Structure 1
Amino acid sequence: MDFNKVNNYHFHHPEYYPIEEIDRSHHLYSPQFNHISFAFPSSPPLSQASDILEGELCTEQTFAGTKNCSAEYCECTYVLTVGIGDVVEMIVVDEGFAFDASHPVHLHGQYFRVVGQGKLGSSLSIEKVKEMDKAGKTCWVFFSRYLSFSTNNIKI
């Protein structure tokens, strides 16, 4: 997760007022997960999934090979498919490369607990978090800049 410097057409038109041509104090960075911005679906996914238009839902692989979301603006309703009753652990890393903000990340629509939060330096890559985790440095990971959520996947 980070605030990325991309020409988000909601704020910066790449032809008329690209982000690169605007004074840094007026940049509107795009909050993104895996370089993809959130877009509301046309219908509620849980109750009217069949009414959602094709191409609105995506995963990280949706744009692979067709668009470089690190350089171009990408948006959709990002989905993660899990089975009923599965335990899901999400670790959200605020990489902090655009600016050192420590933005509080939170979820809506689910019961969850934040089980860790902290900061290590002014920026932190996902690769570094994986490296620290693999090395068994859980106390370092706990104090790095990330949130770990624990949620109940309700059985219906």
Structure 2
Amino acid sequence: MNRSTTPADGEDRARLARRAIEALERVACATGRELDRHAAGYGVSDAKLEVLEVLLCARGGRACLHDLGDELGVTRPNVTKLVDGLERSGLVERRPHPSDGRMVQAHVTPAGAELADEALPGRERVMRDVWDGLDDDELARLIGLLEAVAERATAPARSR
């Protein structure tokens, strides 16, 4: 990383770091609100819509709850709560794993697939619209920067 473009003063660096975090949080919160507003028009939360999207991308429209949680980056209790809500709404059903009786899979129902077909294009539009102020090159650079920061932020503390 070229540090010649960053302030030498530690306080200035700390201020810039705080501003970066605040900007990321504003983008995440505003986007989250828009995504939830969109999903609410279909009677679900954005998190539930994302579960449907992941399931539809999975082979056979089904996944074990453990794998679903890993894919979504949520805890097991959270994925269970999401699937419970989708199941109550008739959008997902739980079925035993075909080869491992200890495991349960979430399956998208026809109603869940229909809702996803209607709602997911709008979800994609909301996510795309967030970045309308950037051209493709700027967006690619931003992605690279954010991925580098994310990699460092998620690395074990001893390697930092």
- The two structures have a TM-score, normalised by structure 1, of 0.22
Structure number with the higher helix fraction is 2
Give 1 or 2: higher strand fraction. 1
- The one of the two structures with greater contact order (alpha-carbon pairs below 8 A, sep at least 6) is 1
Q: Which has the larger radius of gyration?
A: 2
